[in-house]
Amino acid sequence: MTESSAPGKVYLFGEHAVVYGEPAVPCAIERRATVTVEERDDDRLRVHAQDLSLDGFTVEYSGETGATPDVDVSTPLVEEGIGYVDAAVSEAREAADAPNAGFDITIESEIPLGAGLGSSAAVTVAGIDAATRELGVDLSDEEIAERAYRAELAVQDGQASRADTFCSATGGAVRVEGDDCRSIDAPDLPIVVGFDGGAGDTGKLVAGVRALREEYDFAADTVESIGDVVRRGEDALADGDLAELGRLMNFNHGLLEALGVSSRSLDGMVWAARDAGALGAKLTGAGGGGCIVALDPTDETTTALRFTPGCEDAFRAELDTDGVRAEDA
């Protein structure tokens, strides 16, 4: 039996634009997904998941990965979650040259599913690491990140970026621009997360931005402007200028809102955070629902969010400098 964990993330800047080759800066946070894997003596997969903003579920099935399991839970999030598990298993089998390996897999997560905190990336990264180690193969963090990216690319119909999986595999703050992924220095960031209890449809939201870019030149310019904000944000991050980071986060949210990926609940939490004195606040992830990220060294933003209609949870999230790691099973 082998167990691995990997962190979730927030985007300081750059979601959506990163799909089009613009830079992005995500940061790993100390909320993790843990995957426990035990090899079976057949080719079947048994997946038990819990704490994924659902009541939990257990499925067992066989055949090629990618087959649709019989899941008695009526939600596309479950089907999407199983898709990431299948893709992770496929990558692990390939890495270990064990195409018929079967596994019992248990997933526990502190990261709400589909909320913009990188749950799928964390599960995929931790799953690949645990499954390959269970088969006697140790991969570098960089190879795990590459295989996790390929897995997400398959599930997301070719519209994934390397940002989430690289951040989850390596930890800390990272800069991603196209195929160029690297860790960057970051100061202690007073990160506060607000969660509306919902989840956006990543594929639909990404497709919506793509359609806008194709129809309107100014929408394409908006995506490029997000890239400009990211570059300014990198300088502020290097200088430890939290006030400037906050101002640029506010700009980034406005541009994402113009692209149609925010929501009433996300905007409400953003403004509640700003009114409480946050240095800056924006949605994080695909949008449409889920989470916002704010910078505030005081407790004011957390308190304000907890009393904001539409906010189900608010919490401080420390920067996690650890990426994927082995745990004691």
User: Taking the domains of the chain in order of start, what are their residue ranges?
Assistant: 2-184, 191-316
Query: Other CB atoms closer than 10 Å to residue 67's CB: what's the count?
Result: 11
Tell me the three state secondary structure of residue 218: helix
Catalytic residue, chosen from 86, 164, 196, 320, is 164
CA-to-CA distance for 88 and 283, rounded, in angstroms?
28
Where b means 16+ CB within 10 Å and e means fewer, 120-130 reads bbbbbbbbbbb
Give the predicted TM-score (pTM) of the model: 0.86
Mean predicted lDDT score pLDDT of the chain: 89
pLDDT computed for residue 54 by the predictor: 46
All residues at 6 or more sequence positions from 129 whose CB lies less than 8 Å from its CB, including other chains: 4, 6, 35, 139, 144, 324, 326
pLDDT per position as a tens digit, 279-316: 999 999 989 999 999 999 999 999 999 999 999 999 99
CA-to-CA distance for 13 and 206, rounded, in angstroms?
16
All residues at 6 or more sequence positions from 2 whose CB lies less than 8 Å from its CB, including other chains: 36, 37, 38, 130, 131, 133, 134, 326, 329
Does the structure show a pLDDT above 60 at 141? yes
Pairing state of beta strands 45-50 and 103-109? parallel
CA-to-CA distance for 104 and 315, rounded, in angstroms?
33
CA-to-CA distance for 189 and 317, rounded, in angstroms?
9
pLDDT per position as a tens digit, 4-55: 999 999 999 999 999 899 999 999 999 999 999 999 999 888 888 765 554 4
The CATH number of domain 191-316 is 3.30.70.890: yes
Query: Catalytic: 239?
Result: no
pLDDT computed for residue 84 by the predictor: 84
Q: Which fold has domain 2-184?
A: Ribosomal Protein S5; domain 2 (3.30.230)
pLDDT per position as a tens digit, 169-223: 999 999 999 889 999 999 889 999 999 988 888 878 989 999 999 999 999 999 9
